[in-house]
Structure 1
Amino acid sequence: MSSPLPHATPAIWRFEAIGTRWEVGSAQALTSDDRAAVADAIETFDRIWSRFRDDSTVTALAHRGGAVAAPADTDLLLSGLTDIADATGGAVSPLIGGVLARRGYDAAMSLIDRGAESAPPWRDVLSWTSDALSLSRPATIDVGALGKGRLVDLVHAVLAERVSGPLLVDASGDLRVSGADLRIGLEHPYDTSRAIGVVTVSTGAVCSSATNRRRWGDGLHHVVDARTGEPVRTIAATWAFAPDAMTADAIATALFFDGGPEIALRWGVEWVRMTTDGRVDWSPGSPAELFMRADTVAS
């Protein structure tokens, strides 16, 4: 997904964090204190929820199970994942981390496939209250289905309190904008020099996911069905449009599976997706302008 910065946000800050490229656009240049506040927000979130860090809360639980004091955002993230898991019949799971690691998408990024396995029945293993996050046995929590979107929202909130005027936070496919019209190309998953459409957003979030990103081995990629451990073969790319990035990110993930359009409707999220055979479908209220071919369909 391309995201050219609007003219109203002339100050650009680009940096790398959580293994991805970020762009922040603002009407005024950020101070060193502003940037430090963003770095602190990202570090705090990552130290809790990253399965790629040896020192994270998630990694500690993966090694030993047990209970820890409920970190910030526990209920928000896991309740959202529960809704997506239920809507997709378990294709999305908060315990998919071990499944992805086994296929090679592990903490060391070994990209060595050790075969498919299904995620554990997460309701039997994972629980949480306002006070505690618990695993009845070691397992790997993965909030990737909506976690990057949540972090985009957190960074946007930090900066919105510190700077005035138009603001854009873009984490390589998950973005949130306020106060400026942003025209975004929906990148073709099989030809990154092309777009299948465009959408203009002035306030809100656009999140995308595609199987042409984070690929390795023989047809392996990061969108995996938790019930089988196999990568998705029918959907190539998704885009979701919502007031906040966490919601858009969650729906962009859910749309790879049966039940995705239904939960998008319940949550009031508009969307577009492209199948691996080149068809495009979209929600009735989608704001995207699509460059349709004869074989595209609406649903």
Structure 2
Amino acid sequence: MAIWRFDAIGTSWEIEGELDDGHREAVSTEIERFDREWSRFRADSGVTRLAADAGRLSSTDAGAMLDAYRELSSATGGAVNPLVGDSLSALGYDAAYSLAPGEPVAAPAAWTGILDWSATQVTASVPALLDVGALGKGRLVDLVMAVLGDVPGDVVVDAGGDLRARGAAVRVGLEHPYDPSKAIGVVALQNGALCASAVNRRAWGEGLHHVLDARTGVPVRTWAATWAFAPEAMAADALATALFFDGGPQLAASWGAEWVRMSTDGRVERSPGCPADLFLARP
């Protein structure tokens, strides 16, 4: 099966399938559209305009993503919050990638009073910096898979480890967060999505990484890596974030998803129906 490799939205992509030039152009157009609307790293994005001037951002992704954020926030007691952009920037993960950490900043707890949204737009009553990193890449994987709906045969979309597969099963390793040359298990992914998050990715200093508790603005310390399995990548991506916090497993159960997570001291937990084959030490 042919593999198309490229970089976009700050990560490496691989798409496997029999794509023609029209499919590649359609994928590139969809990625550019999403990035132009939702990236906090682009001066010309809708998110950047909201941060500067408040007002309205029109996007067909608004309702789906912010409805999911509302559930994530409720399940985690406010630990997941789409207005965590200023918290990330305060620690150096800003639009300029300064990587110069300052004092932690908590995200606005009452974010649903600042943002109002419908299926096709979001309005900020005051300037506010959105960061949709908790589920945005998964949303984009789903959108790309939809663009490729008429591609015959098997298709795999991999955006930096956030995967969605259609057709034959794909064997995927669950990368060890402290040794990328090893895996803690494998899973056969078929007609579904697998998304992962880990503290070793997007890390830029001692104890500094992209998974923050929005209530404090401080990176999480208890869990090192998470993996979530769901029919769609946005749900899997959202749950991979929620699993860093209390309430994550319960949300996964309510969404009918399975998961694995590994603590910073090496303990591994899994959902009762988890399909992965884990390489665990025997007692």
Instruction: Please tell me the TM-score bracket, short chain as reference.
Output: over 0.9
- Percentage of pairs with the same residue: 60
Residue 34 of structure 1 is matched in structure 2 by 23
Q: Separation in 2 of the partners of 1:11 and 1:124?
A: 47
2:95 aligned to which of 102, 107, 120: 107
Residue 126 of structure 1 is matched in structure 2 by 115
Asked if 1:207 is matched to 2:195, the reply is yes
Q: Deviations over 1:33-88 (max 9, x none)?
A: 211100000001111111111111110000011234x3111110000011001100
For the 8 Å contact 2:61–2:119, the answer to whether it is kept is: no
For the 8 Å contact 1:160–1:167, the answer to whether it is kept is: no
Residue 6 of structure 1 is matched in structure 2 by none
Deviation of residue 238 (structure 1)? 0.3
Q: Deviations over 1:183-209 (max 9, x none)?
A: 100000011111100000121000000
2:175 aligned to which of 146, 171, 187: 187
Q: Given the two structures, how large is their TM-score scaled by the length of structure 2?
A: 0.97
Asked if 1:13 is matched to 2:4, the reply is yes
Residue 3 of structure 1 is matched in structure 2 by none
Q: Map of 1:14-93 to 2, 5 A cutoff?
A: 14-26=5-17, 28=18, 30-68=19-57, 70-93=58-81
Task: Give 3-state SS (helix, strand or coil) of 2:148's partner.
Answer: helix
Task: Give 3-state SS (helix, strand or coil) of 2:218's partner.
Answer: coil
Asked if 1:274 is matched to 2:274, the reply is no
Amino acid at match of 1:232: V
Deviation of residue 294 (structure 1)? 4.6
Amino acid at match of 2:182: R
Residue 142 of structure 1 is matched in structure 2 by 131
**Unpaired segments of 5 or more residues in structure 2?**
none
| 279-288 vs 100-109, which moves further | 100-109
For the 8 Å contact 1:75–1:128, the answer to whether it is kept is: yes
Deviation of residue 31 (structure 1)? 1.9
Q: Map of 1:234-245 to 2, 5 A cutoff?
A: 234-245=222-233
Amino acid at match of 2:69: L
Q: Deviations over 1:148-175 (max 9, x none)?
A: 00100111111122x1000000001101
Deviation of residue 115 (structure 1)? 1.1
Change (3 A) 1:265 1:106: same
Task: Give 3-state SS (helix, strand or coil) of 2:191's partner.
Answer: strand
Q: Separation in 2 of the partners of 1:131 and 1:266?
A: 26
1:175 aligned to which of 136, 143, 163: 163
Asked if 1:285 is matched to 2:270, the reply is no
Amino acid at match of 2:86: G
**Unpaired segments of 5 or more residues in structure 1?**
1-9
2:84 aligned to which of 83, 91, 96: 96
Aligned CA-pair RMSD: 1.1
Q: Separation in 2 of the partners of 1:190 and 1:114?
A: 26
Q: Given the two structures, how large is their TM-score scaled by the length of structure 1?
A: 0.92
Amino acid at match of 1:133: V
Q: Separation in 2 of the partners of 1:80 and 1:285?
A: 23
For the 8 Å contact 2:63–2:121, the answer to whether it is kept is: no
Paired residues in the alignment total 282
Q: Separation in 2 of the partners of 1:259 and 1:212?
A: 23
Deviation of residue 127 (structure 1)? 1.2
Q: Separation in 2 of the partners of 1:25 and 1:130?
A: 31
